[in-house]
Structure 1
Amino acid sequence: MQTSSNKTSKTSNKHCLIDVEHLSVHFEGYKALDDISFQVDEGDFVYVIGPNGSGKSTLLATLTGLLEPTSGKVRVDTKGGIGYLPQKLFNKRNIPITVEEVIYSGFDKQYLHIKEVQRKQIEKWLHTMQIEHTLKMPIDKLSGGQQQRVYLIRALINKPRLVLLDEPTSALDPGFRDHFNQLLESLHRLGITILYITHDLHEYQDENKKVLYVDQKIHYYGSVKEYKCIHEGGHTHV
């Protein structure tokens, strides 16, 4: 596995949003992440890949502050907000919370009653995600794929500058995945920085995107195009 020779492909005219230095995260002696360093610039689109149990989800949870590093430094520019979709979604039964309420919790500013402008934003996103009929439904009555769309909306509703997605299409049906990937492309064109954990690079557009291959350590960090040239003739499953 080739490792990028530089800490990043950082250029002087880009603002660094994520700066990780010698990060290690251990759980009772197990090294989930072991001395990794990298940077992500504003406007980057980075696919985070690696085998199961390689530390990908641990990395994103550490970037959000949900996990504390065992050692090393993590600096994330939170100005402009962060949208985060974890791998494990809310799935408890018999808790009376609606789709509207779940999404509303993603707003920075919340009120006793939902403002009309916020409700319109929620309804617009539900339409974009093709589940507008679920607005008043209890979240636990939705299918796994519908729940994933709701939590995607929650991650994006506040127009964050940085979005961290942990396998966001895992429960989506194939027909909707193309629609969702096109949505991400449009968000990226607007300048949103995206870190996206995935297992199938071949189904995505490659232009101007990067790969961060993590397996406890960083084994590659560079362009998708170069990665695909090196590995498996352009069809990469990890």
Structure 2
Amino acid sequence: MPPNSDPVVAADAVTVRFGSTEVLRGLSLRADRGRVTALLGPNGAGKTTFLRCCTGLIAPSGGSLRVLAERPGTPAVTARVGLMPQSTGAWSGIRAADLLRYLAGLYAHPLPVEALIERLGIGTYADIPYRRLSGGQQQTVNLAGALVGRPELVFLDEPTAGLDPHARRTSWDLVRELRASGVSVVLTTHAMDEAAALADEVVIVDRGRVAVSGTVADLTADGTSLEDVFLRHTHAEAGR
């Protein structure tokens, strides 16, 4: 699918400071409608901070950021966006199925919860409190929570971290299904094979800026691997 002239995410020179620390340092990128955009970068490069900006959890210190052509975090945008965080402590006491039913109740036209539970293989632990789930099981519930509201744009922060190979491939298939249905996906990952398998566009972030971006084919046109490209354009340690 060719890039749409109306991007779902448009960031221009976005900066974020926490005290004297500048985490995002003039980050500029776009994510196109109906495509999977993968953000790669070392720990501390600013990927999660950028996703939090896109979902209105953090206000940028400078620059311009639009999500679905609107300011992030407004009610009109929030209802159209799904977020899968790396972790959450707020859900610790609630059973997985009850959590998803609660989240579904926040939307006018949610996905059927039982069908989502079955699709992601959550049924065997649906009645277990979230805090007692394994890390991989929590990740799967987090993914279901991001999707239950039928978002047109979904942000996935390390969506397969801690998953076994079966659950990982199920998540990959689901991302492909989302794209095929017209949902736009922005995900972060440390897995080069995941980015190569899923992404229409790869954006490598280093020290709060975009170091290089393009399709996997473009970035690896000289015969090097995506991992080689990553290593060439990033530092081993990035400031947070």
* Superposed pair shares fold, TM > 0.5: yes
1:108 offset after TM fit, Å? 5.8
1:89 offset after TM fit, Å? 2.6
- Which residue number corresponds to residue 165 of structure 2? 174
Report the CA distance shift for 1:80/1:23 in structure 2 as closer, same or farther (over 3 A). Answer: same
Separation in 2, partners of 1:66, 1:98: 25
- Which residue number corresponds to residue 225 of structure 2? 233
For the 8 Å contact 1:206–1:224, the answer to whether it is kept is no
Query: One-letter code of the match for 1:233?
Result: S
Report the CA distance shift for 1:202/1:33 in structure 2 as closer, same or farther (over 3 A). Answer: same
Separation in 2, partners of 1:142, 1:40: 33
Q: Unmatched 5+ residue regions in structure 1?
A: 1-9, 112-116
- Which residue number corresponds to residue 107 of structure 1? 104
Matched position secondary structure for 1:127: helix
1:225 offset after TM fit, Å? 1.4
Separation in 2, partners of 1:221, 1:152: 26
When normalised by structure 2's length, the TM-score is 0.82
Matched position secondary structure for 2:58: coil
Report the CA distance shift for 1:22/1:232 in structure 2 as closer, same or farther (over 3 A). Answer: same
Q: Unmatched 5+ residue regions in structure 2?
A: 69-76, 232-240
- Aligned pair count reads 220
In the alignment, does 2:216 pair up with 1:224? yes
Question: Could you list the per-position Cα deviations for residues 19-55 of structure 1 after superposition, in whole angstroms to 9, with x for gaps in the alignment?
Answer: 1121000112111110122222211210100111000
1:151 offset after TM fit, Å? 1.1
- Which residue number corresponds to residue 73 of structure 2? none
In the alignment, does 2:81 pair up with 1:82? yes
Indicate the percent of aligned positions where both proteins have the same amino acid: 29
* Alignment counterpart, residue 156 of structure 2, candidates 147, 165, 184: 165
Report the CA distance shift for 1:67/1:130 in structure 2 as closer, same or farther (over 3 A). Answer: same
Separation in 2, partners of 1:167, 1:49: 10
Aligned residues: CA RMSD: 2.6
Separation in 1, partners of 2:104, 2:36: 24
Query: One-letter code of the match for 2:118?
Result: H
For the 8 Å contact 2:14–2:26, the answer to whether it is kept is yes
1:175 offset after TM fit, Å? 2.1
Larger Rg: 1
Separation in 2, partners of 1:48, 1:231: 21
